[in-house]
Structure 1
Amino acid sequence: MALTVLERFYLIDDGFFSFNIKYLFFVGLWPEKTLTRNQKILYKIYEIFIHTLTIIFLIMAGIGTYQHNDDLLIVLSNMDKSLVVYNFFLKTIIFLIKRDQLKDLIDEIEASGDEVTKERKKLMANYVMVITGITAAVVSAFSILALLEGAMSIEAWMPFDPMESSMNLVLSLQIIAVCVFPALCRAFAMQGLVCSMIRYLCDQLIHLQKELRSLDYVKDAEMITRMKFKMIIRKHIRLMSYSMKMESIFKEYFLVQNLAVTVELCLNAVMMTTVGVQQITLLFTFLVYLVLALINAYIYCYLGNELIIQSEGIALAAYESTWTSWPVDLQKDLLIVINASQRPLKLSAGGMALLSIQTFSQALYNGYSIFAVLNDAVN
């Protein structure tokens, strides 16, 4: 039977995050350790080249917005689409700053001996591919729609007049696509790795809960029971360490994500009140981009919430174990585990807000509140 692309990745490298790391490598964010000196130089040039493409797009979009500053709809539309790229670009910069720390953490996780099922790896890899494909399809569809309408998908400065001919328009749309698409791929490569790491923690916490519930004390096998319990405690401490390191690495990353969603919601609410019903295509574009942004933000918050739930579940699993038949010293150790588990593992956005469903709801509320204030001030 022919192997799929994902299965080939697993055969090449059976690590926890093999697919995510390969994806990051292809988008210029993860130089492999096996590269030679010349290959590292070429890879660095490739990395800088993709950075340059994103910066060129932001400059062109900024100039295009300024050139049409008398048209509120164009300004709002450009701000909406540019905000997405700014979000991705800022998260990329943060990712690069923290990359060495992240590599050390991943090496530590992969050397831990923890098991991750192949089904889980495939699920996370499929998630990355699906979200990338959907976003690419949406962006392509709106670009084609703009081409059919004889308009620019985003008003950006070009060294030629895009409206002079259909050939110029097609060329301008291609230039925009070449500048934007690598940034999109980078964003989803980073998102895939972050989500896979959170999912890994959740799965290991679930495994710990099962181990605790199934831990039986038998007098004849006391040493085995004590050894199993000792391994459970060590793993729990190790997972807590991983969680704290992840929070330190990604707190600025999640802060940018949280702020971007709030601003995106506020901006789209303003556009909804400005755009007329007759401009249904523009209105639909705003809605689709907003939905995609909210889905991405929800995925982060859902996984952060799941991490909190599963880490708190350790305390319940410990209480549901057969601790009543254990020796007093083991019961005291179990009480320490319960007390430690009552402080859940968490990820935060800049240390100001936990990554949870509640934070997602709060971001939506904040966006609407800012819009309501601005709307009242204008009226």
Structure 2
Amino acid sequence: MPAHESNDICAPGKYYFMFNLQFLTLVGLWRNDSWPKRWLFFYDIYETTLHILPMIYIVITSIGTYQQRNELTLFLANVDKNLVAVNFITKYIIFMMKRKQLSMLITEIIHSGDNITKKCVKLMSIHVIVVTIFSLSVVTAFCSQAIMNREMIVEAWLPFDTMKNLKQYLTAFQILATMFTPSVLRGIAMQGLICSIIMYLCEQLKELQRRIRSLKFSLENEVQMRNRFKDIIKKHVRLMKYSQTMKVIFNEYFFVQNLAITLELCLNAVMMTVVGLSQKKLLISFLAFLCVALLNAYIYSYLGNELIIQSENIAHAAYDTEWTSWPVDLQKDLLIVIRTAQKPLVISAGGMANMSMQTFAQALYNGYSIFAVLADAVD
């Protein structure tokens, strides 16, 4: 291993997922079956409560949205915020349905013995922290502004008059915040774990490229070189298996993600057309929430694109070796590696598109196209 890389190796990968799994446990999405039965009982109650609260939020805000159907700007503003909540809830329902399969995948990765670089661990932690701070900052900023202006950030039905006095107004605000916040935190926690798996795959593919390029054949080290090449092939097959498993687990998850960002962009375009510059505060809130949604979609697309690039680079690394001096049987094995790597590892969104920067751009284009069609129909 080169000297500049030796200090970059972290502890075995079993510690890599610890931060994200603890975050998921905190938000009621990852129970530990090794806990005592009493702890599991209380955790199940906690988990169920966090399932129910966002559902109630959707119901009461949907009623509030319907009540504002005659006020176009308020109606669209509520639809936008409800769409965010529905996006989070739908994704964590899918996550819960696939949690057992995901747990098996993570367990297999943890026991694989793979090492993770310190840089990758740092990037993973920074990603979760930055996204959490940014998302909560946007939500907190507009909630604070709404409180100062004595406005509801989202219209909802409640069994009392929210504007009767300050006490009832703050009570309504606390109720809505308590119901909505778990969805945001769960969305961030899920994104952190999913991105950490993709980053792990990219990291291991880079490590495979280095190992392939370092292969040197000679009569003196033939046995050692064959064993190293065999280990490389085994690891490549294992990584392809992990990628395929992840593709199956998150197929519906990424479909919902792409659909949500398309609808979000379309709705924001409609809102900017309707509102214009006369209601700057409402327009800024729309753009801020849109930026959060675009950031999340961009992160998924960027990492999906990186996975495609690094898996294809295996073929380039194999071709860059001094294969002309290898025995014919090893050359044939190397050719199989090259041909296999030419079919990149991908993350599918509903089987209709692969997560990549091209898909991200296509989702933006689709959102604008839908808006343009609606605008033409209205005109």
Deviation at 1:172, TM superposition (A): 1.4
Aligned partners of 1:318 and 1:338 also within 8 Å: yes
CA displacement 1:255-283 (0-9 Å, x = unmatched): 00000000000000000000031210000
1:264-279, aligned counterparts within 5 Å? 264-279=264-279
Structure 2 distance, partners of 1:345, 1:277, is 45
- Corresponding position: 1:220 with 2:237: no
Tell whether 2:318 aligns with 1:333.
no
**Greater Cα offset, 219-228 or 115-124:** 115-124
Aligned residues of 1:17 and 1:121 also touching (Cα < 8 A):
no
Which residue number in structure 1 is paired with residue 245 of structure 2?
A: 245
- The answer to whether 1:105 aligns with 2:126 is no
Unmatched 5+ stretches in structure 1: 1-9
More deviation, 128-137/208-217: 128-137
Greater CA drift, 362-371 or 116-125? 116-125
CA distance in 2: counterparts of 1:98 and 1:318, whole angstroms: 35
Shift of 1:119: 3.6
CA deviations over 1:76-101 (Å, ceiling 9, x no partner): 00010111110000000000000000
The whole-number CA distance in structure 2 between the counterparts of 1:138 and 1:267 is 19
Asked whether the equivalents of residues 50 and 182 of structure 1 are also in contact (C-alpha less than 8 Å), the reply is yes
For 1:72, the aligned partner's letter is L
**Aligned-pair distance for 1:299?**
0.5
Q: Deviations over 1:322-369 (max 9, x none)?
A: 111111111110000000001000011011101111101110111001
> Identity of aligned pairs, percent?
54
Q: Supply the distance in 1 between the matched residues of 2:68 and 2:90 (Cα, whole angstroms).
A: 25
Q: Deviations over 1:100-150 (max 9, x none)?
A: 000000011111111012342232122112211111111111011111112
Matches within 5 A, 1:159-170: 159-170=159-170
The match for 1:185 is 185
Aligned equivalents of 2:299 and 2:189: distance in 1?
A: 14
Provide the rounded CA distance (Å) in 1 between the counterparts of 2:351 and 2:16. Answer: 27
The amino acid of 1:204's aligned partner reads Q
Q: 2:306 maps to what in 1? A: 306
Q: Is the 8 A contact 1:65 1:155 kept in 2?
A: yes
* Residue correspondence of structure 1 range 1-379 to structure 2 within 5 A: 14-379=14-379
State how far apart, in whole Å, the 1-side matches of 2:347 and 2:374 are: 31
* Aligned AA (2:307): L
String of CA shifts for 1:226-269, please: whole Å, max 9, x gaps: 00000000000000000000000001000000000000000000
Checking the alignment, whether the CA contact within 8 Å between 2:311 and 2:345 is kept in structure 1 is: yes
Q: Distance in 2 between matches of 1:365 and 1:134?
A: 25
Report the AA paired with residue 362 of structure 1: Q
CA contact 1:28–1:46 (8 Å) conserved in 2: yes
Displacement after TM superposition at 1:37 (Å): 1.7
Q: Give TM-score scaled by structure 1 length.
A: 0.95
Mapped partners of 1:248, 1:99: distance in 2: 12
- Deviates most, 312-321 or 29-38: 29-38
> What secondary structure is seen at the aligned counterpart in 2 of 1:116?
strand
Secondary structure of 2:221's counterpart equals helix
The Cα of 1:35 is off from its aligned counterpart by: 1.1
Aligned counterparts of 1:126 and 1:210: Cα–Cα separation in 2? 26
> Shift of residue 14 of structure 1?
4.9
Distance 1:55 1:16 in 2: 32
In the alignment, is the contact (CA less than 8 A) between 2:120 and 2:203 conserved in 1?
no
TM-score, with length taken from structure 2: 0.95
Describe the SS at the equivalent of 1:120. Answer: helix
Return the alpha-carbon distance in structure 2 between the equivalents of residues 351 and 109 of structure 1: 25
Contact (CA 8 Å) 2:213, 2:317: kept in 1 or not?
Answer: yes
Task: Give the AA of the match of 2:65.
Answer: T
Q: Secondary structure at the match of 2:15?
A: coil
Residues in 2 aligned to 1:35 and 1:54: alpha-carbon distance in whole angstroms: 27
CA contact 2:33–2:40 (8 Å) conserved in 1: no
Q: Contact 2:132/2:185 (CA < 8 Å) preserved in 1? A: yes
**Partner AA of 1:65 in structure 2:** T
C-alpha separation between the residues in 2 aligned to 1:283 and 1:127?
Answer: 28
AA in 1 matched with 2:69: N
Provide the rounded CA distance (Å) in 1 between the counterparts of 2:307 and 2:54: 33
- Counterpart of 2:108, as a letter, is E
Unaligned runs of 5+ in 2: 1-9
Report the Cα distance in structure 2 between the residues aligned to 1:191 and 1:112, rounded to whole angstroms: 23
Quote the offset at 1:161 in angstroms.
Answer: 1.1
Distance (Å, rounded) in 1 between the aligned partners of 2:33 and 2:230: 35
Separation of aligned partners in 2, 1:232 and 1:14: 21
The SS at the match of 1:220 is coil
Number of matched pairs? 369
The answer to whether the 8 A contact 1:21-1:30 is kept is yes
